[in-house]
Amino acid sequence: MDRRQFLKGVLAGGAVAATAAPAPAEARGNLTMPPKAMGLLYDGTLCIGCKACVSACKESNGLPPEFSTEDHMWDTPLDISGKTKNIIKMYKDGTGEVKDREKDGYAFMKHSCLHCVDPSCVSACPVSAMRKNPETGVVTYDPHDCIGCRYCVLACPFDVPRFQYDKAFPQIVKCELCSHLASPDNHTRFEYSACAQVCPTGATIFGPTDELMAEAKRRLALKPGTDYMVPRGKLGGGDWQMAKAANYVPQVYGEKELGGTQVLKLSAVPFDKLGYRDLPERSFASISETMQHSLYGYLIAPVVVLGGLVVAAKHSLRDQDEDQE
């Protein structure tokens, strides 16, 4: 086959592809909660800001201290980072006199990975370094597969995955719900999520997500000021203590946001004041994947490429014909 015949073949093939009937692309809905989903319930009204969870998280995961003061005497992270997977932040308004009050009050909020039911980081990762366990739903990270593209950092709507910019061989750092503790060679003092295990007030508890949701709904149904018992550590662990029901915002954050999360939150101060914005129920991952499937399902991208080949082929054939004349 000479050059002229080859170009005619490209031209014909491009025309056929461009006029082929498009394959229908189906919209993808949100993924559903895994059957044995595990997670956390954080109740900001029970949090005292002691940051024992921050310290335990670092101990459990072997993370180094992070300094924000000149003397470098204490581990004082200001946000989650390449060295910190979990942080407690404080909201304050006006005089900040009363806990869990929006005006002239203060409140605490835990920030870490929410382990989305339909995670954007997993959808965006091109090499499956970010994975969601099909049974527990825990979103984990495999540094051996990671290529350092940081798509997960850009994709996460909660700004959670962080990159170790100060490392020669950097990795992504995020809460993995202490999934390593389930390993048979675990010899640490922690048996499950360290942040929940050390929380002295039961502000953070660990357990099956459906049971955590039921516990959250139970608290929302209580009349403010009512005495009630709260579990500590994990649901079903047998450790309880007395608490008073707060004047909660009537919302379990994570129940519906972006298809739901396995880390749930309660607060008496609006969540948008605490760093968690209002989000739609449809996951961003389902939207982006539907667009991608539509793009390739209807041959838009291939047609563009083949269209360029067709134009190039036409110009080349015309130039060749003129040369022969």
pLDDT tens column, 95-147: 999 999 999 999 999 999 999 999 999 999 999 999 999 999 999 999 999 99
pLDDT of residue 24: 54
Which are the contacts of 121, defined by CB distance < 8 A and separation ≥ 6? 130, 139, 152, 155, 156, 160, 161, 174
From the centroid of its chain, how far is CA 10?
45
Query: Which residue from 207, 271, 218, 272 is spatially nearest to 245, judged by alpha carbons?
Result: 218
Using CA of residue 23, residue 296, residue 130, residue 161, what is the dihedral sign?
negative
The terminus-to-terminus CA distance of the chain in angstroms comes to: 21
Reported as a single tens digit per residue, the pLDDT across 151-202 is: 999 999 999 999 999 999 999 999 999 999 988 888 788 999 999 999 999 9
105 and 214 belong to one structural domain: yes
Q: Give residue 270's pLDDT band: very low, low, confident or very high (50, 70, 90).
A: very high
Residues 290 and 278 in one domain: no
Confidence (pLDDT) at 10 = 44
Of 231, 235, 182, the C-alpha closest to 208 is 235
Question: 294 or 86: which carries more pLDDT confidence?
Answer: 86
How confident is the model over 60-104, as pLDDT tens digits? Answer: 999 999 999 888 888 899 999 999 999 999 999 999 999 999 999
**pLDDT above 70 covers what percent of the chain?**
82
In the DSSP assignment, the letter for residue 314 is H
Structural domain for 108, as ranges? 38-282
Q: What is the pLDDT of residue 149?
A: 96
| Cα–Cα separations (whole angstroms), residue 63 to 56, 59, 85, 153, 187 | 10, 7, 9, 19, 17
Q: In the chain, what percentage of residues exceed pLDDT 90?
A: 73
What is the identity of the amino acid at 145? D
Asked if pLDDT for residue 6 goes beyond 50, the answer is: no
Tally of structural domains, the chain: 2
Whether 19 and 105 map to the same domain: the answer is no
Do 151 and 9 share a structural domain?
Answer: no
SS3 62: coil
Same domain, yes or no, for 205 and 237? Answer: yes
Looking at the predicted structure, is the pLDDT value of residue 3 above 60? no
Contact assessment for residue 126 and residue 151, using Cβ atoms and an 8 Å cutoff: yes
DSSP-assigned states of every residue in 9-48 = HHHHHHHHHHHSPPPP-PPP-PPPPPTT-EEEEEETTT--
Q: Do residues 20 and 75 both lie within one domain?
A: no
Reported confidence tier of residue 18, pLDDT bands at 50, 70, 90: very low
Task: Calculate mean pLDDT across residues 226-231.
Answer: 96
How many angstroms separate the CA atoms of 32 and 12, rounded? Answer: 45
Q: In whole angstroms, give the CA distance from residue 325 to residue 323.
A: 5
Would you say residue 307 has pLDDT above 90?
no
**pTM for this predicted structure:** 0.83
- Tell me, yes or no, whether 99 and 8 share the same domain: no
Tell whether 291 and 161 lie within a shared domain: no
Residues 189 and 274 in one domain: yes
Write down the pLDDT at residue 154.
Answer: 96
- CATH code of the domain in which 260 resides: 3.30.70.20
pLDDT value of residue 238: 81
Mark whether 305 and 260 lie in a shared domain.
no
Burial group, residue 89, by CB count within 10 angstroms (0-12, 13-18, 19+): middle
Q: What was the pLDDT predicted at 132?
A: 97
Same domain, 249 and 302: no
**Are 66 and 193 contained in the same domain?**
yes
More confidently predicted of 143 and 20: 143
pLDDT of the residue at 320: 57
pLDDT band at 298 (very low <50, low <70, confident <90, very high): low
